[in-house]
A and B are shown apart, each in its own frame.
Chain A
Amino acid sequence: LTALEEPLYIDRFLFMSWPKSTLSVLVWTPALGAFLLLFVRDERLRRRIAFGFPAFSLAVAAALALTFDPDASLRELHRWIPQLGLAYDLDLDGFSSLLIVWISLLALVATASADPSERHVDSQILLAETALLGLALAGDGVLLLSFYGAGLLSTALLLRRAGAIQAFLVFQSVAAALAVVSIAVSYHLARIQTGFPSAEIARFSSLVTFPDFRARMLLLGAAMVAFAGPLFPFTSWVKAPGLSREGRLLLLGGWSLAGALFFSKAVLPAYSGGGASWLPTAIAALSLVYAGVAARLSWPSLLVGAQGLVVLGLLSPTTEGVAAGRAGMMQLAIALSAIAIWTSDTDDRGPRLTSAFAVAMFLPVSWLVLRDRWNDAPVLAGLAFLGLALMLFHAARRLPPLDRRRGLLLLPLVALWSLTLLAPSRFLPEGSGTIALEEE
């Protein structure tokens, strides 16, 4: 369908080493697999499709990440609803080149973990993969929200129980509503400042606004992350009981990215620098303290603590801090997915081991973020450090002996985590030039 749409004029001048529809192929391949699964009755064929489509996505994503060139980045731009100024805009940057690899790998692992007797679970995983890939690549605000909504619903489907779904949806709907308001404000500003309606995210950074207005919009975006993330105290929905393994994997490894990703893509470029970031910073630091003093270092508290660290990084006044926050976003997803590989919280050794892993994986990024925040907000950085130290203490005290067989399952995650450490420049925000990280 996108090939039928007329490309925008800018599309003709973009130099790209890949065919123009590569990003669409990557995003929509899993959805096509989900659609095909509706009509397939044969169990073997079903499993082949369920594995084949995410495997193909992973191959394309890996090839795109390996050949990524910041000077010839891939972008697909078509008219979608020209009357409303909305475009079908997919854009690959350094950070999203890593994210797409992670999301494709996650979908494959989730499919492998899923219970084959549950008939529609493979389709749901594939739909969630499409939504998350779209979320990572969308370059138009309304398209981003469309993928956001689709991801939210497909993740909710994996929660299975009406009570858990309702709690999740209520909190996430607040986040989605705040995200819609944020994009609607940017859309309106773009319309009155340029004369043409547009939700193109790249334009948001050139919007002219007063400092107090920027501060309010930043708070709005931070509130969105607090509900979606979640941050302390909006943590009620994360204790979803009876969560399936694939549901937990996609919730922790995939959906945990959504709120912070929206914040870093659509809010920070337009509204950072307006001041008043102390409130979200304080909430983020409190989230780390909450995770540190939690009675048990289980996935809900780890998720909240790690999200706090990510937000601390994203709100950092320096480019390096923001890059560390973005790196943290990805490492949060990888680290917490390790916990989801174990069957349930009742099998205590697995979560204990992987909780320790999760905290350890976060240490390099934590060091960068906290060191950076120490310069501008020493009290809050101190609080956050206290929370992190308590988390470490919990993890070290409860560390069980390593089970070799299950430890093997962690290998791909550790490998990808190590790879993310090898490519720090890809986490730098757009337009920050070629600033070399000290740690590089």
Chain B
Amino acid sequence: VIAHAALAIVPLLAAWTLRTGKRGRWIAATLDAAALFAVAIFWTLPDADWSGLFFSASILVAVLFAVLSPEEDLDAQARLHLGASLGIVAAASDNLAWSVPAVLLSALLVQETRKRLHFFLVPLLAALVGLVPSVGNAAIPIGLLGLAATWLVAIREVLRNSPASLVNRTAISFVLLVGFVSVALRFPAGLALHAVALGCLGLGALGALGATRVTTFLASMTLARAGLVLFAQLGGTPGRAPAMMALAVSGAALLLLAAALEDTESVEDGSTLGSVSRRLVLVLGALSLGSFPPFPGFYILFPLSSAVFERGYSNALIAAALLLFLVALGCLRLVSRAVDSHGARSNEVGIARAALVLSLVAILAFSIVPAPLAEIARIAALARN
């Protein structure tokens, strides 16, 4: 409890320092890095809450990446840190009565919601109904669907209407994703989870194939990855470790894609990028999100599908495979524009150094020597039991 409380307080401190100006950004980055270091130390403790630490580390990496990326809107970064703090609370708490409100509150805080508050209220109430113990098991599906709907509205609002940089917006949507998934993975594998997982994958696939705006594309990808993670939950305990790995890979890939697509409006703008390193990062991010071999996240498809099939969800598995294929095609749409050698390379903006370093580290860690990540995910998945 003390470890998680400490980890949740650090982003709050960072949010406060960010209010003091640009120097505060470096202090915030140092605080985030220190929190990550603390996670590594807590991980070695006997009887640590490995699952909560895994989610907290995912959130902190995303936050650190966003702080290190160029951003004028410090208010947005402060909101990101508030969301991160609540996300850590949601992931760490065993009690749904704490974690569900934490996720809902972070969804309300990370974006100016006054104009569209009604979008939040209905699913939010539905999510809270799921918490009422007297309603019993019948309320669980309503709660999950309400939570999913709140999360969906939140990431749409953040990605499409926030004035912050694309990296910052994507980091916020990933923090929300981690909070949502950490709670959703505690729900039993029933019809509601089934519907939410396939629904997210379906919406993500449609968006990936048809999106013209970059923000819509990123929102679709976030949805599709959430669908994949939740789908793995249908496989029970053997499916949970691939779900954890899929979550970590999603974070790295979404942030890389956002960093590469910064300052672009439409998906077609992928063919105007002049910087080779930026195009490379774009390709790495897009292919990782599409689970394309040999990029990060591809190999988790095997244990994931095996676990889900073993539980008897063969029809759902076929549907998910088709939807994942459509998501991959959507990613290839972006890749073909990035590697088109006949495009007019008018956009000369390079890529932030943090994005380059993250891309190299992520590719090395997740593709070439993924065994440590697989081991961490396995420990975290078993701890969730």
Contacts and interface: CB of A to CB of B under 8 A. Distances in A.
Given A165-B340, A184-B301, A81 B295 contact: no
Interface in A166-215: 166, 169-170, 173-174, 176-177, 180-181, 183-184, 187-188, 191-192, 197, 199
A177 B298 CA distance: 11
The CB with the most chain B CB atoms within 10 A, among A82, A145, A199, is that of A145
Contact of A79 (B310, B328, B368, B371): B371
Contacts of A177: 321, 325, 328
Interface stretch (A43-51, A149-157, A217-225, A334-342): A149-157
Interface string B340-368: 11110000000000000000000000001
B374 A81 contact: yes
A82 B373 CA distance: 11
A115 to B, nearest CB: 12
Contacts of B321: 177, 181
Given A81-B370, A150-B294, A166-B332, A187 B343 contact: no
A285 to B, nearest CB: 29
Interface in A119-140: 120
B299 A1 contact: no
Contacts of B325: 173-174, 177
B333 interface: yes
Interface in A389-412: none
B4 interface: no
B306 A188 contact: yes
Contacts of B337: 162
Nearest to A120: B276
A182 to B, nearest CB: 12
Interface in A246-280: none
B309 interface: yes
Contacts of B341: 160-161
B371 A81 contact: yes
B299 A86 contact: yes
A319 interface: no
Given A157-B339, A169-B335, A177-B328, A84 B303 contact: yes
Nearest to B324: A177
B305 A184 contact: yes
The CB with the most chain A CB atoms within 10 A, among B271, B292, B300, is that of B292
Nearest to A187: B302
B122 to A, nearest CB: 38
Interface in A63-94: 79-84, 86
The CB with the most chain B CB atoms within 10 A, among A84, A160, A183, is that of A84
Consensus secondary structure, chain B interface: helix
A165 B333 contact: no
Contacts of B374: 81, 83-84
Nearest to A191: B306
Contacts of B368: 1
Interface size class of B (residues with CB under 8 A): 35 or more
B293 A176 contact: yes
A251 B278 CA distance: 27
A403 to B, nearest CB: 31
B306 A180 contact: no
A380 interface: no
Interface in B363-384: 368-371, 374-375, 378
B329 interface: yes
B294 to A, nearest CB: 3
B336 A180 contact: no
Interface string A78-114: 0111111010000000000000000000000000000
A76 to B, nearest CB: 16
Nearest to B364: A1
B287 interface: yes
Contacts of A147: 294
B270 to A, nearest CB: 9
A176 B328 CA distance: 11
Contacts of B92: none
A16 B292 CA distance: 35
Given A81-B299, A81-B371, A180-B301, A162 B293 contact: no
Contacts of B378: 83
A111 B9 CA distance: 57
Contacts of A150: 293-294
Interface of A: 1, 79-84, 86, 120, 142, 145-150, 153, 156-157, 160-162, 165-166, 169-170, 173-174, 176-177, 180-181, 183-184, 187-188, 191-192, 197, 199
8 contacts: A83-B371, A145-B294, A145-B298, A149-B294, A153-B287, A161-B340, A180-B301, A188-B306
